[in-house]
Amino acid sequence: MSEPIRVLVTGAAGQIAYSLLYSIGNGSVFGKNQPIILVLLDITPMMGVLDGVLMELQDCALPLLKDVIATDKEEIAFKDLDVAILVGSMPRRDGMERKDLLKANVKIFKCQGAALDKYAKKSVKVIVVGNPANTNCLTASKSAPSIPKENFSCLTRLDHNRAKAQIALKLGVTSDDVKNVIIWGNHSSTQYPDVNHAKVKLQGKEVGVYEALKDDSWLKGEFITTVQQRGAAVIKARKLSSAMSAAKAICDHVRDIWFGTPEGEFVSMGIISDGNSYGIPDDLLYSFPVTIKDKTWKVVEGLPINDFSREKMDLTAKELAEEKETAFEFLASA
C-alpha cells in the first residue's frame, strides 16, 4: 500500500458529491492500492447534512478510506492537498442574469484559489466542476499564482461522454466503440462537440464517424444541439441537474489525469489555452482534445480544422473572452 493521498471535494453535501464520493472511496478513481484521506467541504448551513454524508461514508466500511474529514473551514479543507475537486458553486436561480452568477462565483473561486495557494501542495491537481466551470477555473488559477496553471482543469468530460453516447446510440454500438470525439471551448451551450476526428469500431474495424453515419445533416445539426442542451433537458425531466452522469464524468477526468489516457485516444478537458496551435487566444480556460501521460496533459496537435469547425470554435472562444472580462472586473473589485 502506498502513502494516503489527500483528496478534497467541495460542495460535499450536494447531489453531485453524493454520487461521487463512493466511487472515490472504493478505489475506482485512484486505484485499488491507493489509500485516501477524504476531505469534505461545504458551507456552514450544510454541516448537518454533511454529517449524514460522513455517517454514510463510515457505514460503507471502505478499506481505502483512511480518514474522512467534514469541515466548513478552508484552512482545514485545503491543507496539504494532492487533489482538489471543486464541485461547490453558487447555482443559477430563476431570474438570475449570467452576470450575477459570475459575480457570486468569482468571489467563491477567488477565495478557494487563495486557499489552495496558501495551504495545498504546489503539486496539487485542481479540477473545477462548479459552473460557470471554465471561468471559475481561470479565477481560481489566477488567485493561486504559486501553483502551476497547468495543474488546473475544468470538467468538459460530461459533454464529451454525452457526445460519445449520442453517436453510439445512433449507430447501435456501445460507447466504448466510439473514441476521439472533441468538445471545444466553454462548458455552456456554445460548446462545440466535434466528431470530424472521431472513430467508431464497426464489425471489428475502425472507421470515421462521418463515414460510418453517412448523415451529415444530423451531425452538423441535431447532434450538436442535443449535446449542447443536454443539461437543460435533464433538468426539465428530472427537476434536478445531472448528478450521476456528472459524477461519472468527474471520475473519468480525474482517473485519466492520474493514470494517463490509452494509446491512440484523446479526451476533452478545459485547460489554459496558452501557446495552442488552433488559433484560440492565450489566457483562456478552453476545452481542447488532450492526451495525458505522467499526470501531465498535452494538447493534440495538427488536427485539420474545416470552416464549419473554425466558426464554432471561434464563437465559443468569444463567449469565454467576454466571461473572463466580466469576471476580472469583479475580481479587481472583490
Residues designated as active site: 187
Q: Which residues are annotated as a binding site for substrate?
A: 92, 98, 131, 162
How many angstroms separate the first and last alpha carbons of the chain?
Answer: 44
How many degrees, rounded to 5, is the angle at CA 186 between CA 82 and CA 311?
145
**Beta-bridge partner residues of 7:** 38, 83
Degrees to nearest 5, angle at CA 140 with 136 and 146: 160
Residues making up the chain, counted from first to last:
334
Element (H, E) at 182: strand 182-184
CA distance 38 to 23: 12
Contact between 123 and 112 under an 8 Å Cβ cutoff? The reply is no
Residue type, 37: I
C-alpha distances (whole Å) from 98 to each of 121, 131, 189, 329, 334 are 33, 10, 13, 14, 18
Instruction: Assess contact for 113 and 124: CB atoms under 8 A.
Output: no
- How many helices (DSSP H) and strands (DSSP E) are in the chain? 12, 14
Q: How far is CA 74 from CA 15, 25, 112, 114, 159, in A?
A: 21, 22, 8, 10, 30
Binding residues for NAD(+), as ranges, are 42, 105, 129-131
Annotated binding site: 42, 92, 98, 105, 129-131, 162
